[in-house]
Structure 1
Amino acid sequence: MSTTKQQYRAELISGIRVLADFLERHPTLPVPHGLDVMAFPEPDASYATRCAEIDRIADAHNAELRDQDGHHTAHVSFGRVSYHLVAISDEARARHDALMSYLDSVALETATHADEQVNKPLDIPTADVYGRQCPCGALTDKGARLCRKCRSRGRWNRRKAPYRDEEEQW
């Protein structure tokens, strides 16, 4: 183990002991329901190598092994404190990355923005602002006598009119 890894390990263990002593000295402070410590062996190694390392450690310490959905784990409990060794396959990481790529695609409205939308009056054009009213009741474009739907229906009827006369003759 390199000096930096040994130093990091010593600092982490020391910090855990300091936390335990601090919580013991201050019994009125709230404590978490439990504590889960996760470790990932050799992140640069292959998935098979990481799984083999976890299996070796689990055998040596009677840890509970689990292999599910690309996560190979060993678990040791000390009451409400748990130690987990985890190896994640490249496929599981790719699935997670794909799922998280949609994270910014959905934006929920805040309550204040939704309230503003509910209380905002509808902007419905009136006949005097938009145009006048068609005989069918719809609003027309400015300068037009009929709405778009009635104009379209009129064009259709004019195109079909010559054929209608021929059908009636037969």
Structure 2
Amino acid sequence: MAYNMTPEARRGQLIADLHGLADYLDRHPEVPIPRYGPVRVSVHPIYDTEATTEAEAIAEVERIAGLLGVPLRVENGHHIACANFGAVSYEAVLITQAAMDRRAAQDSYCNNISPDPPKE
């Protein structure tokens, strides 16, 4: 998808591409599909909307939850609005900087810990 498309054109192209995928899979039953699903369409407000700050992105996830008619989930710095359509889901996700920083701090030790006993 071209980056220089208008929002309306990008939306139309995404919808056409989703129809194209569905039609292709329908015509080619030999092509495997996810066994357990779901297939996700994910929107990340900082990248996919006009939100430029974390606060604006959180507000955008809240707005999307309202549009979808689903509750907003906030878990450990993850703000999520998710609507399920059978094996396909649409979600808007914002992970706060504080949550990403906590994860980075946890991961900073990963190369210092080994399940194997030290070699002598």
2:43 equivalent in structure 1: 39
1:70 equivalent in structure 2: 77
Q: Could you say what secondary structure the match of 2:5 adopts?
A: helix
In structure 1, list runs of 5 or more residues that go unmatched: 110-170
1:4 equivalent in structure 2: 5
Between the aligned partners of 1:104 and 1:16, the Cα distance in structure 2 is: 41
Q: Percent identity?
A: 36
Q: Could you say what secondary structure the match of 2:33 adopts?
A: coil
CA contact (8 A) 1:41 1:87 kept: yes
1:26 and 2:28 matched: yes
Higher helix share: 1
In the TM superposition, residue 67 of structure 1 has moved relative to its aligned partner by 0.4
Query: Quick one: which amino acid aligns to residue 24 of structure 2?
Result: F
For these two proteins, the number of residue pairs brought into alignment is 108
Q: Could you say what secondary structure the match of 1:42 adopts?
A: helix
User: TM-score if structure 1 supplies the norm length?
Assistant: 0.53
Higher strand share: 2
Larger C-alpha radius of gyration, 1 or 2?
1
In the TM superposition, residue 81 of structure 1 has moved relative to its aligned partner by 0.4
Bigger relative contact order, structure 1 or 2, given CA contacts below 8 A and separation 6+? 2
In structure 2, list runs of 5 or more residues that go unmatched: none
